[in-house]
Structure 1
Amino acid sequence: MDLSTAEERLAREFGAAIRARRKALGYTQADLAGMISTNRRFVSELERGKGTSYLAPALAAAEVLGMRIGNLFPEGPRSSGPVLPPL
């Protein structure tokens, strides 16, 4: 599956945020994998921006680490398009 440049950037940023939070909490990749019922390889790929096609485990990883998705990207949207109101 080919990703657009924006998707690749977001996947890397998401993975970096997951990695930073995991390390800050003192968990290994294997620890996190066990918490979300997956394997260490998935966590490794996720942290490198490669495992994002599996959104449910990625979101589960963030949740288990006490992260809110909105806080993963503190700079906000980088789009030059219109900003949509919240739903």
Structure 2
Amino acid sequence: MDFKQFNLLEHKILQALDSIQALKNENVQLQERVQSLEQEIEEKKDLINELQKEHDSIQSNEGLTEREVYISNKIDEMLKRIDALDTEL
């Protein structure tokens, strides 16, 4: 191996080491990004669960409202019938 070949080998090794270091740095950044995204996903899951509970509660209240309307209508009907009886007497 002559001096020129040795310099070429050294240059290639240094390039490889630089590439390895750059890839390690990129890997660290990507791992941090993955961790951040995983945390964001968990927060979104929690929000989805909260919204689902709220949605279920609203649907339950809508059912209650329908029952209240039904009962109110029945009460009105009964009051009208009572009024009709009073006017007949």
What TM-score range do you get, normalising by the shorter chain?
Answer: under 0.3
Query: What TM-score comes out, normalization by structure 1 length?
Result: 0.27
The structure that is helix-richer by fraction is 2
Larger Rg over CA atoms: 2
Identify the structure with bigger relative contact order (alpha carbons < 8 Å, sequence gap 6+).
1
Query: What TM-score comes out, normalization by structure 2 length?
Result: 0.26
